[in-house]
Every structure is written in C-alpha cells, then in structure tokens.
Structure 1
Amino acid sequence: MICLRAALPFACSPLRLNYPASSRAAAAFRVAAMSSSYSPAVATPIEHIVLIKVRPEAAASGAAAAMVSSLQALSTAVPGLSYIHVGPVLRLRSPAAEALGPTHILHSRYATKPDLAAYAVHPAHVAAVQGHVLPNALDTTAIDWVNAARAPSPVSPGSAVRLTLAKVKEGVEVPQLVEKVAAATAAAGEAKGAKVSFGENFSPARAKGFQFGMVAVFDSLEELDAVEGDRKVEEAKAAIRPLLDEVLVLDFVVGPASAEAPAPANL
C-alpha cells in the first residue's frame, strides 16, 4: 500500500499507535531511549540501516534487550565503526512500515565502504548476529547508501530521527530520485532544524526491494513533530511524490548511554 504523504521523511501523518504525544511524555521517552555511540563531528558518508522485528517472547523474556546490548557493544569492538545506535522503533508512520512491523532499528555509519565490509565480517559482529539476532528475530531488512546530501547530519543524545525507505515507480531511475530529493531538500532548507542524509541503496540482497534511503535528524522529538504541515516541506513532498511507488516511514529516538530501553512498537 502506497503512502504518498510519506514522500519525504519529515512529511507523513502518523498512524494511530499507542505512543506518547505530549511534550512531557516525549521528554520521558527520550530519557528512556536506548544507548548509542556518538561521532557528531564525523561527516561519515556510508549509512547502514537494519530493521528488526523481534519475536514477542524475546521482548517479554529480556532476550530483545540482550540483543540490543550485544549490538551496541560493537561500538568499542569494531574498528572503522564511526557511529551506532540500536534501540526500539518509536512510531510506524506509513502503511508499508506497519505491514513490515519492525520493532527495533540498528543505525550505523562508516567513513568508507571497506569499513562497512569489515564490520560485516568482524568476529564480534558475527557473534552478536548469530547469538542474539537470529534466534530472536522474526524478520530483518537492511539497506545501505552513500550519503548524497551536501552537509552532514550529526546525531547527538536526544536526537529524533525519521527514516524513509522508498521504491521508485516503473520507468524511474533511482539516481533521478536522488537528484530530485537533493533539489527538493535544498529548496525546503533545514525544515524545522532537520539535517538529512540520503542516497541509493547499494545492498539489494536484504532490502526487500527498497532502492532509496533517507534519514532526517532533528534535535528533539518536539522539533520532528513540529515539521508536520510546514509549507516548504509540503512543496518538497509534492515535487517528489510522482516518482515514488511504495514508501516506508518510521521514527526513532536516540538516547543517553546510561538509559534503559523503552518498550518497542506494540505490534
């Protein structure tokens, strides 16, 4: 099912899920968000996203939390890993996201493709995947891209991130979409403080047909929510909509290293 309103990661109406809506609840969620390792000054061009749908029994038993901890620990174990955040999905914001049903997300960054390749085969990563991800995941989806945005999108504690994955319509080339997104985001400017990274997926094997990825990083969940209905964003969205087929949109929050994980998306 197509979500045309999700043409940009900062331009889709939310689904009605049971998540905090008030500023007080949003702040509480950020305090409870899962740990990450930050490299805000590093303009890393390689993005690696993995969406994980954990088994309900894994969430109930604590196995999902152990999975998150094992993956987060890679921040100090794998050379060339510039940034990693592992934690629960906050909100599913498109029909495609709801259909896929991810409960957790891994977002990591690398300076080069060889760094990403080295991470994939590193013994610590392999051990975390075999020991924690595979036994506890019902499904995984992965996508990688080289950042085509002109400016970096640093992530810091408390950041709220909107992820968009897209499939293009028949006859549309992905580089055409990347060019159009570049023009549209430049025209929109830094909508409500968003910093973006986007590009063409170069790892199709586990991407379920998604050809394009984009993250929009906001300083807070309140800033992300405030972008809804922004005129410039709506204009950028309208410029990109004709190129898109299926779009997956979700939000997650990056939190301090000392915090506990909140409950994942209730699916």
Structure 2
Amino acid sequence: MICLKALSSPVHLPTLRRLNPASAHRVAAAMSSSSTAVAAPVEHIVLIKARPEAAASGAAAAMVSSLQALSTLVPGLAYIHAGPVLRLRSPAAEALGPTHLLHSRYATKQDLASYAVHPAHVAAVQGHVLPNALDTTAVDWVNAVPLPSPVSPGAAVRLTLAKVKEGVEVAQLVETVAAATKAAGEAKGAKVSFGENFSPARAKGYQFGMVAVFDSVEELDAVEGDGKVEEAKAAVRPLLDEVVVLDFVVEPAGEAQAAASL
C-alpha cells in the first residue's frame, strides 16, 4: 500500500465537501476487484501519547487492557485493537509522538456514537486514558469503497493520516488514492480501508485516514521500494500537505498483554 510522506508545514484549509454520487461511483470503479463486497466499515482511530511515567509504572499496559476489554462490553463494536505503536514512519508522526493507539470498527456511525457514550467506554477513558496520556488525536472515516479489509491476529497495519494542500478537496484525494491503489495491485496483498475524516474536533486538522492491513510485518516491509507502490506514491504526493505514517501489529491473543507493556 502507498506510504505517503509529508511535504511541507500545515496550512489553514478551506471547508471541504463530501464525495458526491458521481465521485463515489468513480471511486468504486477504480477499486473494483474480485473480493466479495461487504458493508463499508466505520473506522475509529485514536493515537495516544502516553506519559513516560505511565509506561514505566505499568499504567500504560493497564490502559491498553481496559480498552481491549471493551470488545466484550460494548454492543455494536465490531472490532477493536489497542496496543503500542511499532514504528513512526514520517516526520509528522515523530513530531506527534504517539506511543499507543486504538483502532476499532462499527457497522454504522450510530454504533460509533453509542460506543462513545457507553458507560464502559467512558470509564476506560476517564480511569485510564486521560490520567496517563499527554495527548490524543482521533480520526473517523467510512471506508470509501465497500470492500473487505479484515484484521487478523498477527497482522501488521500501516496507518496514514493526511492533510491536503490548500485548494485540494479531500474527495479528490480519495479518488486519487483509489486509482493509485488499484494501479499498485493492492501492494502484495494489502487490504485497505480509506476515507474522509468526519470527526474534526480531535483530529488536529487531519482530513483523511487509511489503514493498509498485511498478514505480517515481513509482508509490510516487502512493499518498500516496490515499483508500483512508488508510482502510486508519486500520483498522490502532489495533493498532500502533511502526513502521519506509522505501523502497528495486532498481537495474537496470548501475546497481547506482553505487547501492552512495551
């Protein structure tokens, strides 16, 4: 999958529109594949910069455990992973400095809204996240194309958050990513989800999100330098102003607690 690089400092950006029906049709055409179509998931990403003392004391591990436990406590939560960041892959990611993240999925925006106010989620945030986080960044999007991007234990995931250049609309970026991803052949088996952020309040200006899911870290690393991937990057890069790129691993259940303490 394309790993997007930052180009310059952030700028003040104009109000953006959502994909109109014609644009959505072009995206769907660009991303057509033999995969069985499924309902487009609503993606929820939270980047967490944990306090150093929280990591040292085990409080960060307890935070991860409290978030992961929501999988059995919150109705409508289709998928959740909480854990440490594996690698920061762009200058903007290094500047933001997240140490942990949460990635969850929902069938609808209403399911996400219900999760946000559920007592178990509120308790985890108030009891573990807020006391132990120096900073958080949150982005939500609906997958632009209804294609599956399942995440399995042991998967390696590349997360990209982007700001577009002044005068560029996010709809244009979404269409370009769709075409570039198709041209790259979904980069050696990567399963992707991407779309326009619809929750700007905690997004720090990031307007676009994407996850590319690989079966392993080795498969993720194998796309670096791939000719088709580099062509895809070149197609997308002119639209971008600032990009966060980072990697994380969805640990097998038996290893999740050990990873949480990293």
TM category, shorter: 0.7 to 0.9
* 1:105 equivalent in structure 2: 101
107-116 or 181-190, which moves further after superposition? 181-190
The amino acid across from 1:65 in the alignment is A
Aligned match for 2:56, one of 43, 60, 75: 60
Q: Following the alignment from structure 1 to structure 2, what is the Cα–Cα distance between the partners of residues 67 and 181?
A: 34
With over 3 angstroms needed to count, the CA separation of the structure-2 counterparts of 1:42 and 1:107, relative to structure 1, is farther
Q: CA deviation at 1:9?
A: 4.5
> Which of the numbers 174, 192, 201 marks the counterpart of 2:197?
201
Q: What's 2:236 paired with?
A: 240
Which of 255, 258, 262 pairs up with 1:261?
258
The offset of 1:257, in angstroms, is 1.4
Matched, 1:172 2:165: no
Q: Show the counterpart of 1:135.
A: 131
Deviation for aligned residue 1:187: 1.1
Q: Give the conservation status (yes or no) of the 8 Å contact 2:60–2:260.
A: no
Once residues 40 and 79 of structure 2 are traced to their aligned partners in structure 1, the CA distance between those partners, rounded to angstroms, is 9
TM-score (norm 2): 0.85
Q: Distance in 2 between matches of 1:149 and 1:230?
A: 24
Secondary structure (helix, strand or coil) at the match of 2:82 reads strand
Q: Give 1:114-153 correspondences, 5 Å limit.
A: 114-153=110-149
Cα 1:77–1:263 shift into 2, 3 Å = closer
What stretches of structure 1 move > 6 A for 4+ residues in a row? none
RMSD: 1.8
Q: Deviations over 1:39-90 (max 9, x none)?
A: xx97551000000000000000010010000000000000000000000000
Distance 1:216 1:136 in 2: 28
* 2:89 corresponds to 1:85: no
TM-score by length of 1: 0.83
2:18 paired residue number: none
Is contact 1:158-1:253 (8 Å) kept?
yes
Closer, same or farther in 2 for the Cα pair 1:193/1:164, shift >3 Å? same
CA distance in 1, matches of 2:116, 2:243: 26
- Matches of 2:183 and 2:38, distance apart in 1: 25
Checking the alignment, whether the CA contact within 8 Å between 2:183 and 2:228 is kept in structure 1 is yes
CA distance in 2, matches of 1:52, 1:130: 14
Number of matched residues?
231
SS in 1 for 2:167: coil
What are the Cα deviations for residues 170-214 of structure 1, in whole angstroms up to 9, with x where unaligned? 000001100111111111112111010000000000000000000
SS at match of 1:261: helix
Q: Secondary structure at the match of 1:97?
A: helix
Q: Deviations over 1:195-244 (max 9, x none)?
A: 10000000000000000000000000000000001111111111111100
Overall identity of the aligned pairs, in %: 85
Q: Distance in 1 between matches of 2:101 and 2:258?
A: 12
